[in-house]
Amino acid sequence: MLGEFGQAPLCLELDLDSYEGHWSHVARFRGRSGWVVGARATLESATDIFRTVIAAGCDEWDNPIPAFQAAHLLECTWSDLGPCYEPPPEILDDLLCEEEGQVYARWQRETNTALQRHLIATEDRIATLERAARRETDRLLRQIDDLRRRRRFAGLTNETRSIFDTLIAELDAENDNAFEACRCQVGRIRIEAEQVEESLWRREDVLIEVLPFCVIAWHAPQAMESWVRESAPVTRASAEMVRTTLRQQLPGRIRELELTAEAKRPYRWNDAEVRALDRDVRRLRKKLNEVRT
């Protein structure tokens, strides 16, 4: 983890391979550069003292990095430490102020019993809705798989195959609509939950102090070239092996993405990543349907 270097900007190289979490958490930063600031936040109320570590970051184009991903960068080891003569971008201060507001929300969630009950009830509603949507999606996918299997029967006329294609397209559209309807319902539930959440907040005077312990201009190298296999011509046999491998591996990957999205969904600052995870799930499900035909 990055040490407490103080508030003077420093330059260093991050070793993303040293990150102990899932490799995908830091994969987007390979061959990139940017800024990250780590800070210790302390919230004091009349009855509590709440301490946590927050992070804010941006890439080389001053595009914000979600706070939970910036925190991943703080967990990597580093090398080539040196002074940085370039001032950090102004956006870092704005991002750190946003995280200061999240410290207050996090304190409320961890110390407010009524709010905790509300959050649990909200997650139960969403889980019930998503389970129903997942059952409906699985039912539609089974029907699509069966139609695709029957479409491959020998002796079918072009007209019959066209009918199968129409039915498959209709079920695909119904599946997409079911997914979109579930996403919209979940979105409405979360908006309503946020409005109720603020009404349940404890109305106490608090003092929040944020003290940066590092301001880093980072860069991360690409993966080692020796790890990249040379491409080989794709033959008919090897293409079928790829399809078999995908049929075996995609369900596990889809489930992993769904679990990650469900874990991040309760926190509204994860909305962008959750939407990206949902898109990946849909893309992989579509790919799985293709390799099953």
- Distance in angstroms (rounded) separating the CA atoms of residues 166 and 174: 12
- Phi and psi at 190, nearest 5°, equal -70, -40
16-25 contacts, C-beta under 8 A, 24 or more apart: 16/76, 16/220, 18/76, 18/77, 19/72, 19/75, 19/76, 20/75, 21/72, 21/75, 25/69, 25/72
List the alpha helices (DSSP H) in 112-157.
113-151
pLDDT of amino acid 54: 93
List the alpha helices (DSSP H) in 28-81.
67-74
CA dihedral for 233, 236, 240, 243, sign (positive or negative): positive
Closest CA to 217 of 47, 43, 111, 92: 92
pLDDT of amino acid 239: 64
Per-10-residue mean pLDDT for the chain, 293 residues long? 75 90 87 93 90 92 90 90 89 91 88 90 92 91 91 88 91 90 91 88 88 92 55 51 75 78 68 76 80 73
Closest CA to 1 of 238, 12, 120: 12
pLDDT of amino acid 258: 78
pTM of the predicted structure, to 2 decimals: 0.59
Closest CA to 9 of 58, 81, 68: 81
- Amino acid residing at 175: N
Residue at token pair 């910036």: 70
Domain borders along the chain are 10-112+205-219, 118-200, 235-293
